[in-house]
Structure 1
Amino acid sequence: MADLSTLARPYAKAAFDYANEHGVVNEWEDFLFVASTIVNDKSFHSWLDNPAVSAEQKSAALVDLYDTQVASDNDSAFKELLASAKGHRDTTTSYPKVSTALSNFVKQLSEQERLTLLPEVYEHYRRHKALGLKQLDAYVTSAHPLTDEQRELIKTRLATSLNASVVIHESVDPTLLAGAKIKIGDKVIDDSMRGKLQQLKTQLTA
């Protein structure tokens, strides 16, 4: 029998091709991330294996969980998890409810008893997105939490200079004193006060 990754590939490609064509790549990625987290839960995974539960009930449960826990005005653990995964801490972001097309995709997976593939589908989907949209991950470590304005400025400047879509992953390190350090792949941009002081020290002792 083919491994899970192999089985998931055609579903991930079909999902990305549709989402990319209709301009909903991020919306589908958000849902797949949350759905993968739910499916990875042992108790929910066992529930999916219950033959007494219909395919329609299984797919409806995933869609309903997303709509009520993420695409709502209320705070939730799923919304915080999603905000963190997207590289920011803003849990006030508005997420749309699951579309008819996405709901039908989930139903298809359920009818073919493939909902347990969602974690693998999500990983392949992300690879398609990175290749298709030339997406890069930028790890930003700042002395203080970034403001929305600072986040957007960094994102815009990096996207322009790298000619790619940039996803910001944030962390805070007070020892930097001020400014920020940005890591993209093996390249590091150190614009922190600590980094500048270290450079000055090196120049003075050279």
Structure 2
Amino acid sequence: MIGASREALAAGRQNLDSLTDDTSVDVVKLAEELTAVTALLDREVSLRRVLTDPSRSGQDKAQLVGSLLAGQVSGETVDLVSGLVRSRWSGGRDLVDTVEELSAYAEIIAAEKAGTLDDVEDELFRFGRIVSGSHELRSALTEPKAGKADKAALIAKLLGGRANAATGRLVTALVTNPRGRSLEQGLESYSKLAAARRDRVVARVTTAVPLSDSQKERLSGALGRLYGRQVHLNIDIDPQVRGGVRVQIGDEIIDGTVSSRLEGARQALEG
């Protein structure tokens, strides 16, 4: 997002943080209602245009939201969405993207409050690895012609009783309404939201063998000192690396694997 939309997103996050600081607010319900609002705005193009029309006053747009959503969702959701439409937007789709992001962010907050955010982060990462390793499963979850109900049922079968409920809701929302994103992009966006919530970065670590707890602690500490922030490790085991560790944080890669050094030597010989 750029310009006005980025400012509106930041304001929406602040409002969500303020709402969820209130212990009386049902954060899971808030997340589910924001998911429903996302679907509504994504489906109703004319409504989206009206709510992002810069020629209409913010108060008029907020009143329209109130009349549409009152009685359908909680007062907290109405207040949050009303605040969003009072803002200015660079593009109509940005409003929908923001409501969707705030829905996922609310799930992250709920998991944090329940003390299960670490589990949710790890489960989302593992789910992504499982899907990437199975062409058949990935096709079933991303096939445009497959019904949303069938995809949701498949997620329930895969994760039901095996993963945190928040993990299931996040994955189900992504699979049933991808909105142009790949499965991998959506899971990565969840990871970034969780990291941002706790002011830390996520490192994807690839090793030939599992790391011990002490090795994980030392690696996390070293990366934390390097980046000046707490670092969460998502660890992937790949025997093809033949030893050493490959670390990716955002677009930056630190590759100390044997396979990388062998490839470098091969290229040097061929050169």
Q: TM-score, normalised by structure 2?
A: 0.38
Q: TM-score, normalised by structure 1?
A: 0.47
